[in-house]
Amino acid sequence: MYEVILYYKFTDIEDPESFCEQHKSFCKELGVKGRIYIGREGINGTLGGTPEQMQKYKEHLTAIEGFEGIDFKTDTIDFIPFAKLKCKTRDEIVALHEEDVDPAYGGKYLEPHEWKAVMESGEDYVMIDVRNDYESKIGHFEGAITPDVENFYDFPDWLDQFDAPKDKKVLMYCTGGIRCEKFSVLMKEKGWEDVNQLHGGILRYANEEGGEHYKGKCFVFDDRLVVPVNKDNLEPIARCEITGKPADSYINCANMECNKLFVCSKEGAIKMEGCCSEECRQSEFKRPFDPENAFRPFRKWYNYFDDEFKERELEGNA
């Protein structure tokens, strides 16, 4: 068995390039795989390896001054969902593209049991899913607003159009918590008073509360694509864009000129030869379609996108 950890820490790093070089060297020697972003504001990563490797990594990182108390979200699986190790520097460890957003001034943390209690209390609140639209499409909390945005850095523009009363209680969540750290600051700066964020995000809630009140699955930025949240309810909430039947698998359109990421069942993929439309199915630029490999749980949906797209999407994975 292997473990996958998801984590972040906002802390000042004086020389990100030097820190990154040393950290990458340690990770290579340890033999772990995954993705780590390092910047002046801290670290954001997800790694896979054996339980022993993960424990050594955690001990190493948290022993560095300023990195104490990291909330590691851990999942146990039977394969490592990363092809290699990537450790790079970034201007932002999660890209909001807004200046002077200090997570120290963010919203109040709600632990998973507190979050659940608020949902069950009958209290009046508005809940915001702080993830991209293709993430919330396959899973979200009951009653959540799921903004129609393609990137995390689109949220400031979305917020400018958000018309909830400034004195209304706000709940927000994302996959592992990092996006809420920044977005909650922005909401408070815009005048919302009672801003609360799910500490540890969906993944921690799933581990501690069993996923109650969550519908569908959780999109993750590794080769697993989706993971279960509420194991007592695994029914898909999205629908295949070809057949209209319930589905929660993503594939890329086999037409290389399209490459659209879309929800598709195996039945629909076979019918359209992996394409999102009849026009794409007739394209001379269509890749050969292998239904068995296309629906392997460890297939990388972003393999066919250009480097700029991959870097942008993987940057906002928590």
* CA dist., res. 26 & res. 226, Å (int): 29
Helix ranges restricted to H, the chain: 16-30, 51-62, 112-121, 133-136, 155-160, 178-189, 201-209, 266-271, 278-281, 291-294, 307-315
Phi, psi of 265 (to 5 degrees): -80, 165
User: Please, what is the Cα angle at 136 between 118 and 291, to 5 degrees?
Assistant: 140
Phi, psi of 55 (to 5 degrees): -65, -40
300 with 223: CB under 8 angstroms?
yes
Q: How many CB atoms lie within 10 A of CB 289?
A: 16
Establish whether 174 is a catalytic residue.
yes
Catalytic residue among 174, 240, 253, 275: 174
* β-pair partners for 246: 239
* CA dist., res. 120 & res. 131, Å (int): 23
Which residues are catalytic, by number?
174
